[in-house]
């Protein structure tokens, strides 16, 4: 009878979470995400005693740990499906999941492989396939062909010393230039996916050694143009110029945050250089915005996932 009671309790919890996740009210929806992710961490935590873990896993496929692992990934699928309603919801989910996994890792809790595989499939692979590309050799006169339809694009801010083909580069232009809401959504999610990748590698591999090339990765940027040339650009081109520098700055900020605690002297040197890159990018953005007023995207999910629009109506 005890097992049935436990399952019934699980069903009750699942039903409550499902109801919250389907709520149109932002505060209940957010509560559902946070509650569901708390359950995911509990279900995904390995016992600190490795021997007890081995004996639990030896009990076979119907054992409690295996059931918990399946429940955890199933719950993650449910959260992701419900968060597909908006980019802000997806960002909120990944930020909360990253915070929960980071907290567990800081407490010495090991996360089950099945949950880490889910994060790899749904976040870290997405980051690499969406924002990184293999770079080709560029010519100083023409820049890199086929990246932007009108403007000269160069490979810039490279700290990895890669001049030959075969390296990777951050390429955001297909999404910046397309102007579709789907591509705008991909750009909005970039920072959250970077944060998730950082937390994933720390939890799964004990550190960021496997992805340290990300810190110094070159970035495709529209070739720096003097202020008078910026004035001659068409409106859409000015926006592409500003956005390419804005998203590059945000990519660098996430890199600085992710690698900030690394003590390796070579990496510390890269961090200082990256901070200088950031300063340069922000200065360019400021100068451009003074000439071309333009509202930059809000990449903060919490502010975008505020109370629903109807709550603001009738304020007087």
What is the distance between the alpha carbons of residues 3 and 43, in angstroms, rounded to a whole number? 16
Please report the pLDDT score of residue 149 as a whole number.
74
What is this structure's pTM? 0.86
Q: What is the pLDDT of residue 315?
A: 41
Residues 6+ apart with CB under 8 A from 155: 135, 138, 144, 169, 218, 219, 220
Q: Are 79 and 37 in contact (CB under 8 A)?
A: yes
In sequence order, what are the beta bridge partners of 222?
153
Q: Measured between alpha carbons, how far is 256 from 249 in angstroms, rounded to an integer?
A: 10
CB 42 within 8 A of CB 112: no
First to last CA, the chain: 58
Query: Which residues in the chain land under pLDDT 70?
Result: 1-9, 49-63, 136-143, 162-166, 301-304, 306-316
Distance CA 245, CA 250 (A): 9
pLDDT of res. 184: 93
Dist CA 250 CA 266 (whole Å): 22
Q: How far apart are CA 30 and CA 96, in angstroms?
A: 10
Structure tokens at 126: 């997405």
For residue 120, the SS3 value is helix
C-alpha distance from residue 257 to each of 14, 84, 191, 194, 271 (Å): 35, 27, 11, 10, 10
* Percent of the chain as helix, strand, coil, to the nearest 5: 65, 5, 30
Domain boundaries, given as residue ranges, for the chain: 2-111, 129-295
Q: Confirm if 160 and 217 have CB atoms less than 8 A apart.
A: yes
Instruction: State how far the Cα of 202 lies from the Cα of 200, in Å rounded to an integer.
Output: 5
pLDDT reported for residue 312: 37
pLDDT in tens, 207-229: 999 999 999 999 999 888 777 78
Nearest to 109 by CA among 63, 197, 50: 50
Q: What is the pLDDT of residues 242-285, one digit of tens each?
A: 999 999 999 999 999 999 999 999 999 999 999 999 999 999 99
């Amino acid at each position: 009878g005890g097992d049935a009671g436990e399952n019934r309790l699980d069903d009750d919890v699942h039903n409550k979470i499902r109801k919250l996740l389907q709520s149109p009210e932002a505060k209940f929806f957010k509560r559902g995400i946070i509650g569901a992710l708390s359950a995911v961490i509990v279900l995904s935590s390995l016992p600190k005693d490795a021997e007890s873990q081995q004996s639990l896993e030896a009990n076979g496929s119907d054992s409690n740990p295996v059931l918990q692992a399946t429940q955890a990934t199933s719950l993650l699928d449910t959260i992701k499906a419900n968060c597909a309603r908006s980019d802000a919801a997806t960002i909120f989910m990944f930020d909360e999941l990253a915070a929960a996994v980071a907290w567990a890792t800081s407490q010495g809790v090991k996360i089950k492989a099945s949950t880490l595989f889910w994060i790899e499939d749904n976040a870290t692979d997405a980051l690499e396939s969406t924002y990184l590309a293999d770079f080709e050799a560029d010519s100083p006169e023409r820049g890199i062909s086929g990246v932007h339809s009108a403007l000269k694009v160069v490979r810039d801010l490279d700290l990895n010393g890669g001049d030959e083909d075969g390296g990777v580069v951050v390429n955001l232009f297909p999404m910046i230039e397309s102007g579709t809401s789907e591509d705008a959504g991909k750009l909005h999610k970039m920072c959250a996916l970077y944060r998730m990748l950082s937390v994933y590698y720390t939890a799964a591999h004990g550190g960021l050694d496997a992805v340290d090339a990300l810190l110094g990765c070159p970035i495709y940027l529209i070739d720096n143009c003097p202020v008078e040339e910026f004035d001659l650009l068409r409106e859409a081109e000015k926006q592409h110029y500003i956005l390419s520098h804005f998203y590059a700055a945000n990519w660098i900020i996430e890199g600085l945050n992710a690698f900030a605690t690394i003590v390796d002297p070579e990496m510390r040197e890269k961090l200082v250089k990256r901070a200088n890159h950031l300063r340069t990018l922000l200065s360019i953005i400021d100068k451009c915005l003074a000439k071309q007023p333009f509202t930059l995207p809000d990449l903060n999910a919490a502010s975008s996932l505020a109370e629903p629009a109807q709550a603001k109506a009738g304020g007087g």
